[in-house]
Copies of this chain bind each other. A is one copy, B any other.
Amino acid sequence: MRATVIHAARDIRFEEVPDPVLKLPTDAVVKVVAACVCGSDLWPYRGITETKAPHPIGHELVGIVEEVGSEVRTLRPGQFVIAPFTCSDGTCRNCLNGVQTSCLGGAWWGGQDAAGIAMNGGQSEWVRVPVADGTLVATPELPDDALVPSLLTLSDVMGTGHHAALAGGVTKGRSVVVVGDGAVGLCAVLAASRLGAERIIAMSRHADRQALARDFGATDIVTERGEQGATVVRDLLGGQGADSVLECVGTVESMQQALDTVRPGGRVGYVGVPNGGAELNLRKMFYNNIAVAGGVAPARAYLEELLVDVLSGDLDPGRVFDLELPLAEVAQAYAAMDERRSIKTLLRP
């Protein structure tokens, strides 16, 4: 089959690799229906994180089960499945605690599974899925093709936005600021709206993203950044910071923006993968009683709940995809997202 391999910064190749086959009785093999490029894929693409050796890349996919191992109980060939961005067995203590990203028997796409067997990346024609029963969520029936983009967001960005909102303590009536207008930030707006936030302020400088944020439930847009941005937020909120700030970028500046924009006693829910000087000013947090919670989202934990709303048509996060390309043109997808010509690019094999 062919799959996406990153060789170095800005060197994305769609190339021939061995076909995935069942290696363990708990494996499944899935034919990919749709995959996509994540904002976090841009870190190695841009050379901000180093690519020491070529490796398969991509971690968001939906597809059709092709084959299952002898110990797989809950899946059968022909089912449409959503694969979260980490694989998890669903039975270890961390999975039972709802932290499937810390699964003791889990695996990350493009790495190695718990048995040491190489994993495929998600931007592939087929993938071997370890601990398939724990990892994959099947839809009740084959979904309409129009639902594929929204279902694909449950792999990562919608679950990640939801995680930010939960970690940030968003509940009915809260005021929320979302830092970051990428696909995750936009999904965080949608998640906050779904959870009943009263005021949702999206910090965004791009007209297309502002428009989508409003469609997703943002009540206000703030284009300023830094201390000026925090001041505008306080003006909008009657002189105080927000109850919850959702940090969806992962830079030193974005976390500082979050800490500057939350009210005393408020919560920062963060899901941006920390890049750069990944430290927090504890003293600022201390004197203002600011809680910081979140991290790498256990998308698997939220998948069933969010799936119900996608299938019913109540939740339409698939609108974050504003470009669709054949998987073979994956390098163009990276370039389009890198150059901000696309919020998020969907890839079809």
- Report yes or no: A289 in contact with B285, Cβ–Cβ below 8 A: no
User: What's the minimum C-beta distance from A243 to chain B, rounded to whole angstroms?
Assistant: 8
Q: Which residues of B lie under 8 Å from residue A282 when comparing CB positions?
A: 255, 270, 274, 278-280
User: What's the minimum C-beta distance from A20 to chain B, rounded to whole angstroms?
Assistant: 26
Q: Which residues of B lie under 8 Å from residue A102 when comparing CB positions?
A: 264-265, 287-289
- Report yes or no: A291 in contact with B289, Cβ–Cβ below 8 A: no
Q: Is A93 at the interface (CB under 8 A from chain B)? A: yes
Q: Is A231 at the interface (CB under 8 A from chain B)? A: no
Q: Which residues of B lie under 8 Å from residue A286 when comparing CB positions?
A: 270, 273-274, 278, 294-296
Do A288 and B295 form a contact, CB below 8 Å, given A93-B240, A278-B281, A282-B280?
yes
Q: Which residues of B lie under 8 Å from residue A285 when comparing CB positions?
A: 292, 295
Q: Is A118 at the interface (CB under 8 A from chain B)? A: no
Q: Is A283 at the interface (CB under 8 A from chain B)? A: yes
Most chain B beta-carbon contacts within 10 A, residue among A99, A287, A289, A298: A289
- Report yes or no: B99 in contact with A289, Cβ–Cβ below 8 A: yes
Q: A270-314: contact bitstring with B at CB < 8 Å (1 yes, 0 no)? A: 100110001111110111111111111010000000000000000
Q: Which residues of B lie under 8 Å from residue A264 when comparing CB positions?
A: 94, 97, 99, 101-102
Q: Which of A312-326 contact B (CB under 8 A)?
A: none
Cα(A32)–Cα(B102), bound, Å: 53
User: What's the minimum C-beta distance from A283 to chain B, rounded to whole angstroms?
Assistant: 5
Contact of A274 among B97, B270, B283 (CB under 8 A): B283
Q: Which residues of B lie under 8 Å from residue A292 when comparing CB positions?
A: 280, 285, 291-293
In the complex, which range does the number of interface residues on chain A fall in?
35 or more
User: What's the minimum C-beta distance from A108 to chain B, rounded to whole angstroms?
Assistant: 11
Contact of A293 among B255, B279, B291 (CB under 8 A): B291
User: What's the minimum C-beta distance from A252 to chain B, rounded to whole angstroms?
Assistant: 9
- Report yes or no: A294 in contact with B298, Cβ–Cβ below 8 A: no
Cα(A267)–Cα(B263), bound, Å: 21
Do A291 and B167 form a contact, CB below 8 Å, given A240-B93, A265-B97?
yes
User: What's the minimum C-beta distance from A106 to chain B, rounded to whole angstroms?
Assistant: 11
Q: Is A98 at the interface (CB under 8 A from chain B)? A: yes
Cα(A98)–Cα(B291), bound, Å: 14
- Find the B residue at minimum CB distance from A298: B289
User: What's the minimum C-beta distance from A11 to chain B, rounded to whole angstroms?
Assistant: 26
Cα(A240)–Cα(B97), bound, Å: 12
- Find the B residue at minimum CB distance from A290: B295
- Report yes or no: B287 in contact with A296, Cβ–Cβ below 8 A: yes
Q: Which residues of B lie under 8 Å from residue A99 when comparing CB positions?
A: 264-265, 288-289
- Report yes or no: B283 in contact with A294, Cβ–Cβ below 8 A: no
Contact of A97 among B263, B279, B280, B291 (CB under 8 A): B263
Q: A319-340: contact bitstring with B at CB < 8 Å (1 yes, 0 no)? A: 0000000000000000000000
Which chain A residues have a beta carbon within 8 Å of chain B's beta carbons?
A: 93-94, 97-99, 101-102, 167, 240, 255, 263-265, 267, 270, 273-274, 278-283, 285-296, 298
Q: What are 22 inter-chain pairs, A to B, with CB distance below 8 A?
A: A94-B240, A97-B264, A102-B264, A167-B291, A255-B282, A267-B293, A270-B282, A270-B286, A274-B282, A274-B283, A278-B281, A278-B286, A279-B279, A279-B282, A280-B282, A285-B292, A285-B295, A287-B296, A288-B295, A289-B294, A289-B295, A289-B296
